[in-house]
Amino acid sequence: MASLGLAQRIRIGLDGNSGVEFSMMNRAGRLNFGKKRVGFRVMASEGQSVEPDLSVTVNGLKMPNPFVIGSGPPGTNYTVMKRAFDEGWGGVIAKTVSLEADKVKNVTPRYAKLRADANGSAKGQIIGWQNIELISDRPLETMLKEFKQLKEEYPDRILIASIMEEYNKAAWEELIYRCEETGIDAFEINFSCPHGMPERRMGAAVGQDCDLLEEVCGWINAVATVPVWAKMTPNITDITKPARVALNQGCEGVSAINTIMSVMGINLDTLRPEPCVEGYSTPGGYSSKAVHPIALAKVMNIARMMKSEFGDKDYSLSAIGGVETGGDAAEFILLGADTVQVCTGVMMHGYGLVKALCSELKDFMRKHNFSSIEDFRGSSLEYFTTHTDLVRRQQEAIRQRKAVKKGLQSDKDWTGDGFVQETESMVSN
Catalytic residues, which ones? 193
Length of the chain: 429
CA distance 107 to 418: 54
Residue 415: is it exposed, middle or buried by C-beta count within 10 angstroms (0-12/13-18/19+)?
exposed
Sign of the C-alpha dihedral computed for residues 273, 276, 277 and 279 taken in this order? positive
In contact, 332 and 24? CB cutoff 8 Å:
no
Cis bond before residue 257 (omega within 30° of 0):
yes
Question: At 298, is the secondary structure helix, strand, or coil?
Answer: helix
* Amino acid at position 397, single letter: A
Cα separations in angstroms, 413 against 105, 396, 419, 423:
60, 20, 10, 11
Residue 67: is it exposed, middle or buried by C-beta count within 10 angstroms (0-12/13-18/19+)?
buried
Helix (H) or strand (E) holding 255: strand 253-256
CA angle 266, 271, 274 (to 5 degrees): 35
> What is the DSSP code string of 3-40?
-TTS--EEEE-TTSSSSEEEEEE-TTSSEEEEEE---E
Question: At 106, is the secondary structure helix, strand, or coil?
Answer: coil
CA distance 57 to 67: 12
